[in-house]
Amino acid sequence: MQRAPAPYPTDALGWAWNEWVLPRRVSAPARPHPRRQLALWTCGLGAGLGMLVLFAGFLVFVGALARHERSPADRADGIVALTGGAQRIGDAIDLLAGGYGRRLLITGVNERTSRDEIARLNPTQRSLIACCVDLDYRARNTIGNAIETRRWMRAHRFNTVAVVTSNYHMPRTLIELDHALQDSDRVLPHPVVTEGLDADRWWQSPPTAKLLASEYIKFLASWVRTRFEDDPERSRAAILIGRGKPVKMVAEPLMMRRID
């Protein structure tokens, strides 16, 4: 009598047989809740629109930058140059020599930079630098520059000031000065066009694009901050945006003023 064959020992073949040969139960993926799906879609749409608005604002910001240098439309009581490039200082001294202001303040000067060093870089204006140029070593950033400008204008009883800084830095500088002086009509901008920075073809140069994008974000941050702050001298935001070593204040108190 022939015996029936025993069942095939599937367990003996191990997990490979069970995974590859035996049928498996496949559970259908759970569908997200309609409300959750709508919320995710709304958040994605909002983020996309936000990025679009931010980029459009960046294009407006870049389009508004000065492409050519020109002298201020009128004369001012004083001239202020913000450090950050030798070209700014040279242009400011030229404005002083041209009679566009009675005195010049160079704000944010490095502590290792002396009046003699500035005179050495501008040898034809040594006498003018000796008599009519003030150096500020206290300002740590653009907020500090605005504070020192206000202090300097009050000390000399100046009502108007011509401001010299790079074209990409001018929008943020005007916001800070307007906030410190509480009157934008007292400021005459003189933007310096930085050599090698082509704002018309910023997308072709990664360093230029990075610089302009960074300045645009700082410009927006300054605009928002000045909507909520009453006095820049009590600004806590300056500590957060200070560069280099930790910033404990926007500008040193007047009692610590360095005498040159």
Residue owning tokens 């700082």: 218
Instruction: Render each residue's pLDDT in the chain as its tens digit; 260 residues.
Output: 555 555 545 454 454 545 544 455 555 555 666 777 767 777 777 777 878 888 899 999 999 998 888 877 789 999 999 988 768 898 999 999 999 999 999 999 988 888 898 888 888 889 999 999 999 999 988 999 999 999 999 999 999 999 999 999 999 999 999 999 987 788 999 999 987 788 888 999 999 999 999 999 999 999 999 988 888 887 776 666 554 443 444 444 443 333 23
Q: What is the predicted pLDDT for the residue at 26? A: 52
Q: What is the predicted pLDDT for the residue at 5? A: 54
Give the distance, in angstroms, between the CA of residue 141 and the centroid of all CA atoms in the same chain: 10
Q: What is the predicted pLDDT for the residue at 260? A: 33
Q: Where are the domains of the chain?
A: 78-256
Q: What is the predicted pLDDT for the residue at 121? A: 86
From residue 229, alpha-carbon distances to 94, 100, 180, 222, 240 in Å are 35, 32, 10, 10, 15
Residues whose CB falls within 8 Å of the CB of residue 97, separated by 6 or more in sequence, listed in order: 125, 128
The pTM is what?
Answer: 0.74
How far, in Å, CA of 66 to CA of 50, rounded?
Answer: 27
Q: What is the predicted pLDDT for the residue at 147? A: 93
The topology under which CATH files domain 78-256 is Rossmann fold (3.40.50)
How far, in Å, CA of 61 to CA of 206, rounded?
Answer: 17
CB 77: neighbour CB atoms within 10 A?
16
b vs e for 99-115, b when ≥16 Cβ sit within 10 Å of the residue's Cβ? ebbebbbbbbbeeeeeb
Q: What is the predicted pLDDT for the residue at 163? A: 96
